[in-house]
Structure 1
Amino acid sequence: MAPDLRPRARLSSLGHAWRGLRTLLRSEANARIHLAATLAVLIAGAALGLNAGEWALLVFAIALVWVAEALNTAIEHLANALHPERHPLIGQAKDIAAAGVLLAAISAVAIAALVLWQRYA
């Protein structure tokens, strides 16, 4: 089946994505922490006058964390819907998805520290 490329279908798709982002921010405390960290890094970057390459690294790091958090939350919601009771394999899947967010966050902190510290020092 060919994808629907009509403008109305594309706008509808964007609407679903925005609803997902709102749900992510409302339902996940960690997403709100990521939002605060994102804003802090953006403000610091603007204050330090980063160049395009430095901004690219920070935007990549920020996007990596947000994508990991969104996928982790989606996995958790799907797992809970499919199997609400505790199950060892579902628990492992959730733990692994959470580990992905942790790895992304650690990487983002390292990138931000390298870029911002170099510029600050």
Structure 2
Amino acid sequence: MVVQPDGQEPEMNKPRRRGLHRVGWAAYYSYRGIRAALENEAAFRQELALMLALLPLAFWLGETVEQRILLIAPCVLVVVVELLNSAIEAVVDRIGAEKHILSGQAKDMGSAAVFFSLFLVVLTWGLIAWDRFFVS
């Protein structure tokens, strides 16, 4: 915590909202984030389309509730990780356009996180499909 020279805590610039008022504003900010990602991030749009296409297939391929959850959860995870990756990229780009090794590493690590989440989708769907069509 930062303390001012007079020993007082600095005032926060964020309004202090509580209860349903805070939840409402949080939902509004989430909506703005999703809208910004839809408008500005092609990868987000592609991964969201993939998730929406796979959701009905999850109910067909999965034979149990557990399998359906295992098919849906990684798809949602891809979208979440892509939002975080886009946020990292936006912050790095906001800091400056000059090349810096740490900026590149931050963007590359975000991209790697998206890669691993996509790998999880392929692995999960592949194993459940294998179990359904070749083992059972």
Normalised by the length of structure 2, the TM-score is: 0.77
Query: 2:33: which partner in 1?
Result: 20
Q: What is the one-letter code of the residue matched to 1:109? A: V
Distance 1:37 1:119 in 2: 22
- After superposition, the C-alpha distances for 1:51-93 in whole angstroms (9 at most, x for unaligned) are 2101221222112211211111000000111122222220111
Secondary structure at 1:84's aligned position in 2? coil
* Structure 2 gaps, min length 5: 1-11
Rg: which structure is higher?
2
Whether 1:104 and 2:117 are equivalent positions in the alignment is yes
Equivalent position amino acid for 2:51 in 1:
T
Residues 28 and 9 (structure 1 numbering): CA distance in 2 closer, same or farther, change over 3 Å? same
How many residue pairs were aligned?
120
Aligned-residue CA RMSD (Å): 1.9
- Could you say which residue in structure 1 is the equivalent of 2:68? 55
User: Structure 1 vs Structure 2: percent identity of aligned residues?
Assistant: 33
Given candidates 46, 55, 62, the residue that maps to 1:33 is: 46
1:9-37 residue CA offsets vs partner (Å, 9 max, x unmatched): 21111110011012112211111121121
Query: Gaps spanning 5+ residues in structure 1: where?
Result: none
Report the CA distance between 1:49 and its aligned residue.
Answer: 5.5
Given that residues 62 and 68 in structure 2 are in contact (C-alpha distance below 8 angstroms), is that contact kept between their aligned partners in structure 1? no
Q: Is the 8 A contact 2:58 2:72 kept in 1?
A: no
Q: 1:50 Cα shift?
A: 3.4
**Contact 2:62 2:128 (8 Å CA) reproduced:** no
Distance 2:122 2:80 in 1: 15
Q: TM-score, normalised by structure 1?
A: 0.86
RCO greater where, 1 or 2, for CA within 8 Å and sep 6 or more? 1
Q: 2:77 aligns with which of 64, 78, 81?
A: 64
- 1:60 is paired with a residue whose SS is helix
Contact kept, 8 Å, 1:45 with 1:116, in 2: the verdict is no
User: Who is 1:4 aligned against?
Assistant: 17
